[in-house]
Amino acid sequence: MRVAISRNDPAAAQQKVPVTSYLLVSQPTITYKADGEVLAVEPVAVNPPSDDRSPWVLVSQWTSRLTSIALEMALPPLGGVWLDRKFGTVPVFLVVGMLVGFAVAMIHLFQMSRSGDGTSHDDSGEPRR
């Protein structure tokens, strides 16, 4: 017989149930014997996936992410300087390049922060690596 109890159940508070360190999504399932003794506690746990990749893989991934953000901020203004020199304009293209570079880099950073693991996601929700 399985009975799910809540933390506010006074009868459950009197029973000695071993406490484990799990991140609980819902209340644990407690199995009782016929005489009321606790037979088993089955917590519903969410454990983060283990990351068994080499530290060098992680270093190279973060290096590539930071490099791409730096290039997203640097290349558009450099292109703007080149266009300003080519057309002889006041630094109009430089300012446009700075704004575009900043906007693209901020969008990329926002996508990385939303994913939680530093990867960007495409429209389907699948991570891009």
Band (pLDDT 50/70/90 cuts) for residue 20 is very low
Greater confidence (95 vs 11) lies with: 95
pLDDT at res. 32:
78
The two three-digit tokens of residue 46, written as one number: 């969410």
Q: Which residues pair with 121 in a beta bridge?
A: 127
Tell me what percent of the residues of the chain surpass a pLDDT of 70: 61
What is the sign, positive or negative, of the torsion defined by CA atoms of 15, 20, 24, 28? negative
pLDDT at 40: 75
β-strand partners of 3: 30
Q: Where are the domains of the chain?
A: 2-42, 55-128
CB atoms within 10 A of CB 56: 8
What tens digit of pLDDT does each residue of 70-104 get? 999 999 999 999 999 999 998 999 999 999 999 99
Least confident of 51-60, 76-85, 99-108, 110-119: 110-119
pLDDT > 70? residue 17: no
Q: Is the pLDDT of residue 14 over 90?
A: no
